[in-house]
Amino acid sequence: MNNHLSAWEQEEYLLDQRTPQMLRHLSECADCRAAIAGLEHGVGIYRKAALEWSAESLAVRPQPYVTAPRQPVLTLRLAMAAIIPIVLLLLALIPFHLSSPRRPAQPVAQISDDALLDQVDEQTSVAVPSSMESLTHLVSTESGADRKGSKPLAQTN
Amino acid sequence: MEALERLNYSGEFSPLRDRMIAELEDVNTLCLTYRSRIYRYALLSLKDPDLAETITQDCFLKAFNARKDFRGDCSVATWLTRIATNLIRDCTRSRKFQFWKTANSSAVEAGDIADRLRSPGISPESFLVVREQLVKVWDAVATLPDKQRSVFVLRFVEDMELPEIAIAMGLHVGTVKSHLHRGLAAVRKAMERTR
């Protein structure tokens, strides 16, 4: 029994890459079985310690309650649903706005000047100033008095 | 990829894929089912319970957000392990992690782990031998390069098949085997030192 399994073959055995020759040899060779058992033991204690450590560490941590994160896509869709009708309405109004006749713009200064000149014209065209209007019925022209059939002011006195 | 061919989960409209996607939709059940597994993997990779918890939560959040991208070409567990692997890799590359690793303030020593080991039914002398072996093996695995250690943990702690590990780690099956051989060689050496 001098063809013992090599270290590589023993490792292959642990990785489940087993050949019939390997299995036949192991059934007959106690040394190789012991070598593989030693390696398995080393891996086994590592596994056991790892599982225990992890379980202990996890046990002291609170179980998180995970909620599904809000979907940004849904939020975006809602925002779009709100914005799109407004945009469409504005787009629909643009042709009306463009087709309406445009009045020539009149400067504000010119408007105020015209109004002032009109006012001056109106005041200067009045024959009797407004402060003396109450006296006009006392003084009248002759022709005007005849026409109305009223007596002259001198005769009444 | 060879691993993808060997794992026959595929089929875009298969009932199996639909069932897996339904499993991903229910994030609470997903957490309950896989939390301990992902946490253990992160814990053994990072040796830091707080970081492991963060990685675990990030993993489920990422999985939920990316559930539409799940093609169903592997199991949910493998897919989650892959996400966790990426998160762990990003974490270990960060400068912050490197600093704390150097400071070694929260890293768990092999002796601490061995002290917690419960071995009912064996004599105190035998327990001492087992304890010593565990310290050596634990240190040997801890000194493996990151990828080798992750592969070792996935195979011998999580009982994953080689093709599944290949998918989870983004490696070829041959590379996975090579990593496992190196890990086992380290364990063998550690065991020989205790004799």
Note the pLDDT tens digit of each residue in A30-89. Answer: 999 999 999 999 999 999 999 998 998 888 887 766 655 555 667 778 888 888 889 998
Contacts of B184 in chain A (CB under 8 A): 11, 14-15, 39, 43
Q: Which residue type sits at B90?
A: D
Contacts of A43 (CB under 8 A, 6+ apart): A14, B137, B156, B184, B187
Contacts of A26 (CB under 8 A, 6+ apart): A5, A13, A32, A33, A36
Contacts of B38 (CB under 8 A, 6+ apart): B55, B56, B59, B60, B80, B81, B84
Whether A24 is in a domain gets the answer yes
Tell me what pLDDT residue B165 has: 95
Q: How confident is the model at residue A107 (pLDDT cuts 50, 70, 90)?
A: low
Residues B133-144, mean pLDDT to the nearest whole number: 90
Tell me what pLDDT residue B105 has: 47
Number of domains chain A is built from: 1
pLDDT at B78 over 60: yes
> How does the average pLDDT of chain B come out, rounded?
82
pLDDT at B3 over 50: no
Are A54 and B117 in contact (CB < 8 Å)? no
Q: How confident is the model at residue B23 (pLDDT cuts 50, 70, 90)?
A: confident
Nearest to B117 among A52, A64, A66 (CB): A52
Q: Determine which of A6, A43, A51 to mutate to test the interface with B (most B C-beta atoms within 10 Å).
A: A43
Percent of chain A with pLDDT over 90: 25
Tell me the C-alpha distance between A5 and A33, whole Å: 9
Quote the tokens at residue B192. 């020989």
Residues B106-117, mean pLDDT to the nearest whole number: 67
Flag whether the pTM goes above 0.95: no
Tell me what pLDDT residue B107 has: 52
Contacts of B49 in chain A (CB under 8 A): 57, 61
Whether A45 is in a domain gets the answer yes
**A27 is in which domain, residue-wise?**
7-59
Residues B132-161, mean pLDDT to the nearest whole number: 92
Whether A2 is in a domain gets the answer no
Q: Which of A19, A16, A13 is nearest to A38 (CA)?
A: A13
Whether A46 is in a domain gets the answer yes
Whether A34 is in a domain gets the answer yes
Q: Determine which of A32, A46, A70 to mutate to test the interface with B (most B C-beta atoms within 10 Å).
A: A46
Digit-coded pLDDT (tens) for A11-22: 999 998 889 999
Q: How confident is the model at residue B137 (pLDDT cuts 50, 70, 90)?
A: very high
Tell me the C-alpha distance between B155 and B38, whole Å: 14
Whether A16 is in a domain gets the answer yes
Contacts of B191 in chain A (CB under 8 A): 38-39, 41-42
Q: Which of B31, B13, B43 is nearest to B76 (CA)?
A: B31
Q: Which domains does chain B have, with CATH numbers?
A: 2-107+144-193 (1.20.140.160)
Tell me the C-alpha distance between B127 and B84, whole Å: 35
Tell me the C-alpha distance between A39 and A35, whole Å: 6
Q: Give chain B's length.
A: 195
User: Which is higher by pLDDT, B16 or B74?
Assistant: B74
Highest mean pLDDT among A113-127, B125-139, B163-177: B163-177
Whether A85 is in a domain gets the answer no
Tell me what pLDDT residue B106 has: 45
Whether A22 is in a domain gets the answer yes
Tell me what pLDDT residue B141 has: 92
